[in-house]
Amino acid sequence: MKLTMKKTACFLLFLSTCLSAQNSLHNQKNDELLVTNAMVVVGVGTPAEGPYDIHIKDGKIHAISGAKDDAEIRNKEIQQLDATGTYVLPGFINMHAHTMYTRAGIDMAQPYQHYLWLASGITTVRDLGSHTEVTLKEKKQSADGDIIAPRMFVYPMIWGNHSEKELKQKITEFKKQGVDGLKFGSMDKQTFHAASKLAKEYKLPVANHVGVEDMNAWDNIEAGTTTIEHWYGVPDAALNGVQNFPPDMNYSNELHRFRYAGRLWREADLGKLDQVLDGLVEAGVAWDPTLVIYEASRDLQRAVSSPWFKDYLHPGLEKFFQPNADSHGSFFWGWTSSDEVFWKNNYQIWFKALRDFADKGGIITTGEDGGYIYQLYGFGYLRELQLHQEAGFHPLEVLKHATVNSAKVLGQGDTLGQVRIGYTADLVIVKGNPMADLSVLWPRNIKPLTGDKSTGGIEWTIKDGIPYHAPTMLKAVREMVKESRKENQINYLVD
C-alpha cells in the first residue's frame, strides 16, 4: 500500500475507519514494513532522535532514515505504520518471568500471559522455571510466528540440595531438551558450586535466586554466576556475623522470612558491602533486582488495590494472592505498619547499593517475577521500570536496563535491545514521551495513573517485524478474565 493511497483514504473517511485500517496490521506478517515519523530511543542511553522512518525487512531493522529525506522508500509498495507523535523504543526484555498455566487450581491457559507481556512492550522473556516442555514448545511456536507471544529464553529451575550425580542427570537432561540456561535457588554451598561447575561445562548461563542461605554473593563471585536474582545474598554477604534474628525465627515460615528480610539491608556493614559490590562487578555478575516483587511489603494497600486488577486480574491469581501459607509469597496474614516502615527503609539502602553497583560498572537488568505477591504480568514489569527511576536512575538509563543490558546478559547484545540497523525488529511504539513520564507506558484505560489523559499507552509492540496491536490484545485479556470469573464464580473483590 502506498502512503498516498492511505493518506487519501484517511482524509476521506472517518477517523475510526483509519484507526481500524491501522489495526488491521495486527499480527500481519509482511516481508517489509515502514514505521514512519517516529521519535527513536536507541536504547544505549542516548537521548531520543528523529523523527525517523524505520524500514523493517525480513524481521530485521533494514534502514533508519530522516523522515524528510526518504521519499524514495515511502513511495515503494511497502506496508506502512504511521508513528507520528509517538516514541519508538527497543522491545523490553523481562529477565524474571515464570510462564504459568494454572494458578490456585484454576486453569489459566495461554495466551493470557503472552498477551499481557506483549501489550506491555515485552518482546522477550527469560523464563526462570515453568513447565519446561510446554514452554520450550511455545518458544519454538513464537520464534516461527505461529503464536502471538514474546521470544523466550528457557531456564528451568534446579531448587534445593542435590548430589553431584543427581545434578549431572538433571542438567544433562535439560541440555538435551535444548534449554537456554539454568535457574538455581535454595542451595547449600556444595550443591551450588557443583551445579555451577556443571553449568559451565555445558555452557549454560545461570540465574541464581540469591537467598539468605548457606551460600551468598561471595559464592556467586567465586562461581561467576551470570545473574543474581532479587538481592538477599548481597547484604547477607556483608554482615558482621549473622543477621540479628529473634529467637523464634523460623525460615520456613514465610511471614517470618519476609518480615526479617525487611531488616536485612540495615544490618549490612557498609565497608564490606562495598567489597561485595566490587567483587560482583569484577566477576561480571549481573544483577536482576526485581524491585517490584517486594512492593507489597512496603505498601500492601497499594499492591492489593492496583487499578489494573479490576479488568485484568485472572481469578486464579486472585485466589493465589489471598493470604495462605501454601501459596508462595502470600504471607500477609500478620503484616503490620511497622513491617512496612522497615521495608521502606530497606528499599533506600538497596537503591543506594544498586546505584553504587552501576557506578562501579555493574550491569543491572529488569524483571518482574509476576504471578506472585500481587504482581501481574506486564503491569508489574512497567512498575519495575518506575522503581528503577525511584532508585535514582535517569529514565534513559532505566530503558537501557530494560533493553541493552538485558540483551547483553542473555548473550544477545548484537541482535536484541537496540533500535539499530541490522538488529532484530523488536519495537515498542508508545503514545507519549517515556523520558518525561514512564507512566505513559500504562494502558490508556488505567486512568488514575496517567496525568494527561489525552496521551499515553503502548499502541504497538513489534516482534520479529510483526506488529501486535496492544489495545486489541488487552481487550482479549479482559474477555478471558470475564469468562474465567464467570466459570469459576469468582467476582473481583471491588465489584
Of residues 209 and 388, the one with the C-beta less far from Zn ion: 209
The least CB distance from residue 209 to Zn ion, in Å, is 7
Of residues 98 and 463, the one with the C-beta less far from Zn ion: 98
Q: What is the distance between the alpha carbons of residues 34 and 71, in angstroms, rounded to a whole number?
A: 12
Q: Count CA within 13 A, CB hemisphere, residue 297.
A: 24
Per-residue mark of binding to Zn ion, 313-352 (x: CB under 5 A): ----------------------------------------
The least CB distance from residue 128 to Zn ion, in Å, is 5
Of residues 369 and 437, the one with the C-beta less far from Zn ion: 369
The least CB distance from residue 430 to Zn ion, in Å, is 27
Of residues 52 and 372, the one with the C-beta less far from Zn ion: 372
Q: Give Cβ neighbours of residue 312 (< 8 Å, ≥ 6 apart).
A: 116, 376, 379, 474, 477, 478, 481
How are strands ordered across the β-sheet holding 151-154?
A: 92-97, 122-127, 151-154
* SS3 at position 278: helix
The least CB distance from residue 358 to Zn ion, in Å, is 22
CA dihedral 327, 265, 409, 90 (to 10 degrees): 80
Which stretch, 112-120, 245-253, 347-355, 367-375, contacts Zn ion (CB under 5 A)?
367-375
Asked if 369 interacts with Zn ion (CB under 5 A), we say yes
Of residues 369 and 464, the one with the C-beta less far from Zn ion: 369
Asked if 437 interacts with Zn ion (CB under 5 A), we say no
The least CB distance from residue 380 to Zn ion, in Å, is 11
Helix (H) or strand (E) holding 66: strand 60-66
Using omega within 30 degrees of 0 as the cis cutoff, is the peptide bond preceding 51 cis?
yes
Distance of CA 484 to the CA centre of its chain: 25
The least CB distance from residue 206 to Zn ion, in Å, is 14
Of residues 254 and 369, the one with the C-beta less far from Zn ion: 369
DSSP β-ladder status, 60-66 and 32-40: unpaired
Of residues 95 and 313, the one with the C-beta less far from Zn ion: 95
Which stretch, 73-81, 132-140, 305-313, 368-376, contacts Zn ion (CB under 5 A)?
368-376
Of residues 33 and 382, the one with the C-beta less far from Zn ion: 382
DSSP structure class, residue 46: P
Evaluate whether 95 touches 388 at the Cβ level (below 8 Å): no
Evaluate whether 419 touches 43 at the Cβ level (below 8 Å): yes
The least CB distance from residue 492 to Zn ion, in Å, is 25
* SS3 at position 151: strand
Of residues 380 and 471, the one with the C-beta less far from Zn ion: 380
Evaluate whether 321 touches 375 at the Cβ level (below 8 Å): no
Dihedral class, residue 315 (left if φ above 0, else alpha if ψ from -120 to 50, else beta)? alpha
Asked if 384 interacts with Zn ion (CB under 5 A), we say no
Cell of 240: 558482621
Residue nearest to Zn ion (CB): 369
Which stretch, 72-80, 363-371, 428-436, 477-485, contacts Zn ion (CB under 5 A)?
363-371
Residue 68's identity, in one-letter code, is K
Question: With CB under 5 A, what is the number of residues at the site for Zn ion?
Answer: 1
Of residues 86 and 94, the one with the C-beta less far from Zn ion: 94
Which stretch, 84-92, 245-253, 366-374, 440-448, contacts Zn ion (CB under 5 A)?
366-374
Which stretch, 249-257, 305-313, 364-372, 400-408, contacts Zn ion (CB under 5 A)?
364-372
Asked if 464 interacts with Zn ion (CB under 5 A), we say no
The least CB distance from residue 443 to Zn ion, in Å, is 24
Helix (H) or strand (E) holding 316: helix 315-321
Q: What is the distance between the alpha carbons of residues 109 and 92, in angstroms, rounded to a whole number?
A: 23
The least CB distance from residue 329 to Zn ion, in Å, is 9
The least CB distance from residue 8 to Zn ion, in Å, is 51
Which stretch, 317-325, 329-337, 338-346, 361-369, contacts Zn ion (CB under 5 A)?
361-369
Evaluate whether 375 touches 368 at the Cβ level (below 8 Å): yes
The least CB distance from residue 149 to Zn ion, in Å, is 19
Evaluate whether 54 touches 420 at the Cβ level (below 8 Å): no
DSSP β-ladder status, 151-154 and 157-159: unpaired
- Greatest C-alpha distance within the chain: 76
DSSP structure class, residue 47: P
Of residues 126 and 314, the one with the C-beta less far from Zn ion: 126
Asked if 180 interacts with Zn ion (CB under 5 A), we say no
Which spans of this chain sit near Zn ion (rule: CB under 5 A)? 369
